[in-house]
Structure 1
Amino acid sequence: MNWKLFVARRIYKNNKDGKEVSKPAIHIAVAGIAIGLAVMIVVVAVVIGFKHQVRDKVVGLGADLLVTSLDDAQSYQATPIVGNDSLMQVLQSVPEVSHVQRYSTKPGMIMTSDNFQGMVLKGIGQEYDLTFLKKHLQEGEIPLFADSASSGKVLVSRTIANKLSLKVGDKLYTYYLESKIRARRLTVAGIYQTNFSAYDDLFLVTDLYTVNRLNNWKSEQVSGLEAAVSDYSKLDWVNDRFREHLDTKEDRYGSIYYSRTVEEAYPQIFAWLDLLDINVWVILILMIGIAGFTMISGLLIIILERTNMIGVLKALGADNTAIRKVFLSFSVFLITKGMIWGNAIGLSICVIQYFFHPVKLDPATYYVDFVPVEFNWGIYLLLNICTLIVSVLMLVGPSYLISRIHPAKSIRFE
C-alpha cells in the first residue's frame, strides 16, 4: 500500500473527531468548497437557462433567419418581396434549414369607444409553424390561417386585451392610414401572452390574405420569409448560404433580397445576453478563489498542528516531497467531501426552482416570469474537475512550509 495515502487517510479519519484547533478549520474549509461549488452550479444553471429561454422566445416570435427586402431592415411598413413556392424551395434546400414560412405585416391602430392602441397586424399562411403560439395561448383557439381567403379572426396579446377590455369573441375595429383611412373589423379568436413586451405591446396575428389585401400586394408578395435551422451553432453558416443565393438579387418587381440572422435583427437583446457570460466568469473566479483560500488556511492549521508528526516522519527518513504528498492527499479528501456537499446543495436548489419556481421575476423587465434553470451535465462535470484541480494547485505553494520544519525541534513541539 502507498504509505503516503495511508497516512493521509489516517489523518483525515482522526480529524473527524480531531483537536479543538483543527476541527473548526476543517469544517470551514469543507464549507468553503461546498458553498463555492453550489453557487457556481446554480449560477451556471440559471444563466444557461435564462439565455436559452430568452433566445428561444425571440426566435419563436420570428425565426432564426429573416429574408426581407433590403429597404425593410428597420420598418414594419414593409417593402414587399416575391415569396413564392420556388423561393421557399430554394431556401428549404439549404442544409440545416428545417422550416421556411411566409409572413406579412401592416401597421395600424385599434380604436374602441373609450381607448385606442397602435399595433402591427401580422399575417401568416397555412405553412406557418404554430408551436410557439400554441404554447403561449391563454384563451380561445388559433384559427386556420390561409393565404387564399380571409378568416376575419385575429389573435391579440393579453397586454392589448387588458388595455382595451377585450375578450374572446369580441369584435374590434382596426384602422390603417394611407391616402385615406381604411378600416377592418376582426373577431378576437384567442388571447396569447409571451411576456416579451416588444411583441405583446404591438402584434396582432391574422391570416396572410387579409394583410396582403390591406397592403394592395400581389398574392405572391410578402413582407418576408422566416427560416428555422436545426442546429443553432450553424446559424451564421446558413445565413452565408442564403446570401449566396439571394443578396443583391432583385425580384420581378425590383425589390432587393436581404438575409439576416435573428441576432442581427435584435442586436440589443443578444448583446445583453452576451454580457451575462462576463458575470458568470467573474462569479466562477471569485468562488474558486474563496474555496481555495479557505482550503489554504485549513491546510496551514493542520500542518502546524501536526508539526510533531512531521518531525517524526522526517526522522524516520521521509523527505519533504513525500510528506507534502501526505498533506496534499489529505486536502484532496477534504475537497472531495466539500464537492459532494456542494453538488448536493446546488443541484437541490436547481431541482426545486425547475419544478416549483419559487423565485419569480418581473416579465416586463426580464421577459420571463420566473428564474429559469437548465441542467447541463457536461458543464457540471467540468466545474467539478476544475474546482478540484484549481484547489489542489493553490495548496502546492503553502505545502512547502513543511520543508522549513526541523526534525529535532519539531519532535519536541506540542
Structure 2
Amino acid sequence: MANRVRQRSSGVFSATISKIVTLSIAIGTAAILIASMVLIGFQKEITKKITTFAGDFEIAKYSGLVAPYTPTSVQVGQVSRLMADLPSAIEKVIPFTQMLMLIHTSVGVEGISCKGIDPIAVHTALEEYLVVGRLPHLTKATYQNELCLSHHLAQKLSIALGDSVVVHTVHPTVRYRKLKIVGIYCTYLSDIDENLAFCDMRLIQRLNNWSAETVNGYTIFLKDYVTPTKALRDTILPLIDYDLRLIPTQRKYITFYDWLAIIQKNTTIFVLFILLVAGCTMVATLIVQLMERSYMVAILKALGAYDGQVYAILLYNSLRTLCIGMLYGNILGLGLSFLQAHYRCITLEPALYYMRYVPIYTHWKAILFPNLLIFTTLFIALYFSLKWLRQKKIIETLQEG
C-alpha cells in the first residue's frame, strides 16, 4: 500500500516536498560525515605528532630545582617492572637524556632543549617528520657530534643542512661542542619546533660524565588502542620508585589538547544544529503528506483500516525518503573525503591549525557512527511526531472533513 501511494504521488505537491527533504538530508548527512572525519583527523594527527616526540607518559626524577631537566639520573632498575606488569597496555619504554644548551651562529644565540635519543631503539616514527637529512647516526661504536633541529630554528638562526654550529652547556659545567646539522624536521607545533633538537644520547651522557646506564628519564609509549587515562596513571605509579614522577604528555602540551577540545565542542554544536533542522524538516513533510492525503485517509478508514495501519504507511514512506537521502549523502560525503585524503585539495595555515592541509580520518568507525546517529535521531523524531498526531486525533479530523 505504501508503494502504491508513493507511485501515485509523483505529480502532487508532496512529491516536490519529498525531493527537497531528500536533498536536505543528503547535504546534512554529507556535512556530518565530513565534520566527524575532519574532527577525528585533527585529533589523530596532532596526538600522533605529540606522542611521537614525547610519548604518552614521561618518567623523571624529582629534582627540586627550577630547570626541567637538571642532571639528575634515573637507573633502569627503577622502572624495570613496567613492561613485565603491564604488557597489554605499554608498547615500549625508551630511555632519554635531555639538556639545556645554547646554540651559537653568525645570526645570534638561541636556547634549545637537546634530547638524546637511544641508540638501541628504533626511531622510524621520528623520521616521518624530517624535511631534509636524517637523524644523528646511532649505529656507530661511539657517539657522533651531530644534531637534528626544527625547520623553525633553522630559519631563525639561518642554518642549513650540513652546517656546523657551536653549542655550549650551562649546567653543571660550561662545555663547548661543535655539532654538525644532519637533519631538519617540522611538526608545525610551536611548543616542539621552537625548543626541541635531537642528538645521540651518549653525547649528553659524556657531557655529564655519566655511565651508559644513567639517563634523565624514560618515555612510555602506549599501544594504539590504549588511552592515557588517570586510571592508567594510577596503575603505573606504584610500579616505579617513590622518588620518580610520572608526567602525562597531555599535561605538558595542554594547549594543543585544549584547542582540540574547543574544535570538538564546536563540531558537536554544528552536528546538533543540522540534526535539529533535518528532524523538523522530516516532521513537516510527514504532516504535509498526511494533510494532502486526507481523502485517501477517509477511504482507508471507511474500509476498516486502523489508525496504526495508516500511520505505518506514512512512516514507511518517510523512512524510505530518509534512507535515500542518507545514501546520497554518504556518496557525496565519502567522495569529497577521499578526494581530500588523497589529493589534499583544501590547505590550511600551519600557524593557526598546526598542519598544512585538512586531515581526514577515513576509518569505518568514523563512517558508521555518524550514520547511526543520523538515522536514530530522525527515526525518533518521526516516531514521536506520529505519536503526537495520534494523540491529537488528526485522522478522525481529516475523515470528518
Tell me if TM exceeds 0.5. yes
Q: Which amino acid aligns with 1:317?
A: G
Deviation at 1:334, TM superposition (A): 0.7
CA distance in structure 1 between the aligned counterparts of 2:185 and 2:107, rounded to whole angstroms: 23
1:258 maps to what in 2? 245
2:375 maps to what in 1? 388
Contact 1:101-1:127 within 8 A present in 2 as well = no
TM-score, scaled to structure 1: 0.87
Change (3 A) 1:371 1:121: same
Contact 1:146-1:207 within 8 A present in 2 as well = no
SS at match of 2:111: strand
1:160 maps to what in 2? 153
Q: 1:316 aligns with which of 303, 323, 326?
A: 303
CA distance in structure 2 between the aligned counterparts of 1:73 and 1:277, rounded to whole angstroms: 37
CA distance in structure 2 between the aligned counterparts of 1:8 and 1:72, rounded to whole angstroms: 76
Contact 1:148-1:209 within 8 A present in 2 as well = no
Contact 2:81-2:240 within 8 A present in 1 as well = no
1:240 maps to what in 2? 234
Deviations 1:337-392, CA, capped at 9 Å, x for gaps: 11111111111121111111111122223222211111232343233233223223
Contact 1:320-1:402 within 8 A present in 2 as well = no
Q: Which amino acid aligns with 1:66?
A: E
1:206 maps to what in 2? 199
Deviation at 1:229, TM superposition (A): 1.6
Deviations 1:300-356, CA, capped at 9 Å, x for gaps: 222221111111111111122211111111101111111111111111121111111
1:296 maps to what in 2? 283
Q: Which amino acid aligns with 1:210?
A: L
1:327 maps to what in 2? 314
CA distance in structure 2 between the aligned counterparts of 1:231 and 1:114, rounded to whole angstroms: 42
CA distance in structure 2 between the aligned counterparts of 1:72 and 1:356, rounded to whole angstroms: 50
CA distance in structure 1 between the aligned counterparts of 2:173 and 2:358, rounded to whole angstroms: 48
Deviations 1:76-112, CA, capped at 9 Å, x for gaps: 333422233x445433323222212111111122221
**TM alignment of 1:8-407, pairs within 5 A:** 8-15=2-9, 17-19=10-12, 21-71=13-63, 75-84=67-76, 86-87=77-78, 89-93=80-84, 94-95=86-87, 96-145=89-138, 149-178=142-171, 181-236=174-229, 237-248=231-242, 256-399=243-386, 400=389, 402-407=394-399
CA distance in structure 1 between the aligned counterparts of 2:280 and 2:293, rounded to whole angstroms: 20
Deviation at 1:210, TM superposition (A): 1.6
- Larger CA deviation: 179-188 vs 306-315: 179-188
SS at match of 1:300: helix
Change (3 A) 1:325 1:402: farther
Deviations 1:213-233, CA, capped at 9 Å, x for gaps: 333444432221112122453
CA distance in structure 2 between the aligned counterparts of 1:318 and 1:375, rounded to whole angstroms: 47
CA distance in structure 2 between the aligned counterparts of 1:12 and 1:53, rounded to whole angstroms: 47
Change (3 A) 1:321 1:129: same
Give ranges in structure 2 of 5+ residues lacking alignment: none
1:3 maps to what in 2? none
Deviation at 1:196, TM superposition (A): 1.7
TM-score, scaled to structure 2: 0.90
Q: Which amino acid aligns with 1:174?
A: V
Change (3 A) 1:69 1:146: farther
Change (3 A) 1:64 1:166: same
CA distance in structure 1 between the aligned counterparts of 2:172 and 2:306, rounded to whole angstroms: 95
Contact 2:152-2:193 within 8 A present in 1 as well = yes
C-alpha RMSD over aligned residues: 2.4
Q: Which amino acid aligns with 1:278?
A: K
How many pairs align? 393
Deviation at 1:119, TM superposition (A): 1.2
CA distance in structure 1 between the aligned counterparts of 2:64 and 2:163, rounded to whole angstroms: 33
Change (3 A) 1:406 1:141: closer
Deviations 1:157-199, CA, capped at 9 Å, x for gaps: 1111122222222111113334874321101111111222211
CA distance in structure 2 between the aligned counterparts of 1:392 and 1:73, rounded to whole angstroms: 60
Q: Which amino acid aligns with 2:290?
A: I
CA distance in structure 2 between the aligned counterparts of 1:310 and 1:74, rounded to whole angstroms: 80
Contact 2:160-2:181 within 8 A present in 1 as well = yes
Deviation at 1:269, TM superposition (A): 2.5
CA distance in structure 2 between the aligned counterparts of 1:341 and 1:234, rounded to whole angstroms: 35
SS at match of 1:104: strand
Contact 2:22-2:325 within 8 A present in 1 as well = yes
CA distance in structure 1 between the aligned counterparts of 2:6 and 2:369, rounded to whole angstroms: 26
CA distance in structure 2 between the aligned counterparts of 1:180 and 1:364, rounded to whole angstroms: 37
SS at match of 1:195: coil
SS at match of 1:290: helix
Q: Which amino acid aligns with 1:117?
A: E
Give ranges in structure 1 of 5+ residues lacking alignment: 1-6, 249-255, 410-414
Deviation at 1:53, TM superposition (A): 0.8
Contact 1:106-1:120 within 8 A present in 2 as well = yes
Change (3 A) 1:101 1:282: same
Q: List structure 1 segments (4+ residues) > 6 angstroms apart after TM superposition.
A: none
The share of aligned pairs that are identical, in percent, is 25
